[in-house]
Structure 1
């Protein structure tokens, strides 16, 4: 009898160990990200900073989801659904030679804090009113079948973690299965699919103490402001107003360089003077990644680096002759005086890592030959940062740390990534592999080659990239789809794109690869 009991216990343990292999779901899961539903229209025209201009296209997509919903579907918004970093009340010059914006709310000039709860609530209130059709469409979608909607907060809509802001959004869906994920992530019922926005393994956009990205000052709670939000204020608020597709290009830095390349040399010099910190750091980070694989890199004398003159930092731009010439011209005219005192530790490390790898650059002084903790993230690369992040996070959110999710879906970068196996290495449950995929942005995006193809069209030959509007870009939107499954989820990256007859259809692949 005792032996039989032992065998039963062993069998029960084996069954529990295989629980994830028996996971199943009869629901469709559709994940979209980075809609950036925002400022809306000014009169009959779109506000130039509005990214979500595609309500009719989105409605047809919701119809596709509903038609394939079967027993039910989960529509997961993987962060940055709402654009709450940009103020709908700001005013801009619209002059590329002297771009400037006035932002009356959310502590624009403070590099540490953003909106308080009331300011964030006012921004969301504007967005809801400006995009009533977006809210109505989601309400109709959920009410029409056994569908559920989940909003994961991202870095641009982290304000959803304020209780009043969250309550205001959910009031639009009273009595309906719509959820804001206050945990900062979404996990499928069987624990197999984990999704978050992806900004928490991006040093430039992560928040301390996520999902509580707050800081208190004199009894008032504010959103903490990551470096990325400062960049948005320094660049996109000013330059998107005169170059509306700047963040519809394949990645952030491509958009910036495209804008600077299209401007005249004088305008570029003015822009470099205003944006030198951003340009310097983007070039530093790009060059630092070249050094992957080095065993030992020094710990830099950050205090001395912060006291260096402007010329010390200029040589970072030498691999980009146009940017270097513009920065030099701006400095010569007095338009560029860089004070390194405000650089963070990570920013100093990125600059010094790039200089260490750049022939002819004046090197940073060193404290020791030991690799500093902050610079490790720069040199291990984005993929390894994702691996380290998932190794830490997945056991924390799993019911059993030995049985972590087998799928990770994120957004944030605006560039869709096909599903692929990501080895996480040895963990408590043994060797773990995760299928990861990036949803891309559910907005119109284009690569530089696609922009060139658009400008080559006969009707566009009198235009340059600065003239293009988001509506000129291909009507194509990426998303991730997981069909009902038994055993383990099958993940597909699809694009929702317009055909020659004007109708939409799904197909496999990324919009940046589409013709």
Structure 2
């Protein structure tokens, strides 16, 4: 539990940290290998009978993906490990259809999941062939990590079918049956990310999320996600990019605004919790938080006494969800949610509020989730002995959440595995913002510019999110398009298609190494202004309503 009077977050006792030069040696399958991690392809049912993309189909990029695989093969010299880090396939709500329609806690059986997988494999046969060709080239390997949308890969029969479809010599194609992936030396760890923190997509028994009903084995489903899933299922046909926002929580709030919904009724608590606990920490600048700055100690007694007002006041006045939260508060629907928050959750809300407030007060131009010039939220009340600039380290919750996840992953590692140096997660659809100020002011020092370390003032381990293999739009980019075209939320969301979004796909790359992984790098497979596809250190492109062509 987070303690209210917590002081500096230094290297925790659980972390086997040592300076980078002295970390235990490890090799990738006997020789250095390039590692690339991508995620969230969401391959679904493709086109309809008329040859048009189904509105719910997110993977429309098979041609550029095949080119990427060829480039990655060349970059790695035929010795690359490609990790598909979750949600490769859309098997849970395929075309909005669920397997167990009468029970929100039940998902598919293995035969039902296999039938869905066969449809997806047939529709995306060219992409499957491209992946198989990559895995068969040189000494390349291909690994699939299950996510919440393709958790059915944890059924052994479903995993075998995928491995057969992606067939490669030996064991060079594999589904991660334990729900995560590790490099051969244990130094690189990847999981999809839906099990991290307070996310509503968490499964209770991961990586064995199964239950027996009436003699059949079903996947379970995260019940807390039901209200969120219902919203996207209902509104995606009308607003095709509502689930292409980075972060996805922003898609929910923009979609509700576009739909003109002014009262959520009984769904309000679940949706508000979803919005509040997304917490996209990676949008903030981190260059002012070195040295001895400490986290504040929040007065949790005073915080808890605010009741539902704490939840509503955690949203700035220009947040699209705030009127809905206020309506729910007036109707008395938020009392149970406020009362059920534990101390860790209260500290998390207060930490994120403080980070958001500071970002707006110093007009951080790098923000992706809200306008830097908007009204700041108020801080939670502090205990008297933690006031002032010395207590402005607001990343405590982030460090503890990801540090705790690393601790669990390290505890589950084979005895011979070295300490995890790189932890890659995805799921949120929000890529880590490169810390360019740190990059420009490093003065010869090694600094983390892609991702962060949950260990204060350390270079290892590094936690990094490379975003989805999707075209996405941030709320700030959405606002710019609105201003440019003079459109309302409903008009712009109704007009946008995935093809209008920036032609960039993020991934995490760890270069070949002998002993210790170098710092991970976020790279992009992007369409250059010349019309050629290339690997690049930044996207450099923006969404544009006039950019969609026939595909």
Q: TM-score, normalised by structure 1?
A: 0.74
Instruction: Report the secondary structure of 2:249's partner residue.
Output: helix
* 1:443 alignment partner in structure 2: 470
Alpha-carbon distance, 1:30 to partner: 1.2
* 2:202 alignment partner in structure 1: 206
Deviations 1:166-192 (A, max 9, x none): 122122133542110102111112222
Deviations 1:146-176 (A, max 9, x none): 2211001112211100112112212213354
Contact 2:300 2:346 in 1 (8 A): no
* 2:77 alignment partner in structure 1: 70
Q: In 1, distance between residues paired with 2:543 and 2:536?
A: 10
**Structure 2 unmatched runs, 5+:** 1-20, 282-294, 355-393, 435-449, 545-551
* 1:26 alignment partner in structure 2: 32
Instruction: Report the secondary structure of 1:67's partner residue.
Output: helix
Aligned residue among 394, 403, 406 for 1:387: 403
RMSD, aligned CA: 4.3
Deviations 1:210-234 (A, max 9, x none): 2111122333222121246424422
Q: In 2, distance between residues paired with 1:300 and 1:222?
A: 41
* 1:483 alignment partner in structure 2: 511
Q: In 1, distance between residues paired with 2:543 and 2:453?
A: 25
Contact 1:283 1:317 in 2 (8 A): no
Aligned residue among 422, 431, 434 for 2:453: 422
* Worse-matched range after superposition: 105-114 or 339-348: 339-348
Check 1:312–1:450 CA distance in 2 against 1; reply closer, same or farther (3 A cut): closer
* 2:111 alignment partner in structure 1: 118
Say if 2:213 is the partner of 1:217: yes
Say if 2:223 is the partner of 1:242: no
Check 1:483–1:497 CA distance in 2 against 1; reply closer, same or farther (3 A cut): same
* 2:460 alignment partner in structure 1: 433
Contact 1:32 1:439 in 2 (8 A): yes
Say if 2:166 is the partner of 1:138: no
Say if 2:165 is the partner of 1:172: yes
Contact 1:480 1:492 in 2 (8 A): yes
Q: In 1, distance between residues paired with 2:491 and 2:177?
A: 45
Deviations 1:25-66 (A, max 9, x none): 422211101111113221211111111111111111112112
* 1:255 alignment partner in structure 2: 251
Q: In 2, distance between residues paired with 1:457 and 1:414?
A: 25
Say if 2:182 is the partner of 1:187: yes
Check 1:134–1:455 CA distance in 2 against 1; reply closer, same or farther (3 A cut): farther
Instruction: Report the secondary structure of 1:51's partner residue.
Output: coil
Q: In 2, distance between residues paired with 1:142 and 1:391?
A: 31
Q: In 1, distance between residues paired with 2:26 and 2:320?
A: 58
* 2:385 alignment partner in structure 1: none
Q: In 1, distance between residues paired with 2:542 and 2:406?
A: 28
* 1:405 alignment partner in structure 2: 420
* Worse-matched range after superposition: 321-330 or 190-199: 321-330
Check 1:400–1:147 CA distance in 2 against 1; reply closer, same or farther (3 A cut): closer
Q: In 2, distance between residues paired with 1:394 and 1:346?
A: 28
Aligned length, in residue pairs:
450
Q: In 1, distance between residues paired with 2:56 and 2:134?
A: 27
> Where do 4+ consecutive residues of structure 1 move more than 3 Å?
21-25, 282-287, 292-301, 311-332, 336-355, 423-426, 452-463, 509-515
Check 1:347–1:446 CA distance in 2 against 1; reply closer, same or farther (3 A cut): farther
Instruction: Report the secondary structure of 1:485's partner residue.
Output: coil
Structure (1 or 2) with the greater strand fraction: 1
Aligned residue among 261, 272, 293 for 1:280: 272
Q: In 2, distance between residues paired with 1:299 and 1:209?
A: 35
Instruction: Report the secondary structure of 2:453's partner residue.
Output: strand
Check 1:343–1:158 CA distance in 2 against 1; reply closer, same or farther (3 A cut): farther
Check 1:328–1:448 CA distance in 2 against 1; reply closer, same or farther (3 A cut): closer
Check 1:299–1:285 CA distance in 2 against 1; reply closer, same or farther (3 A cut): farther
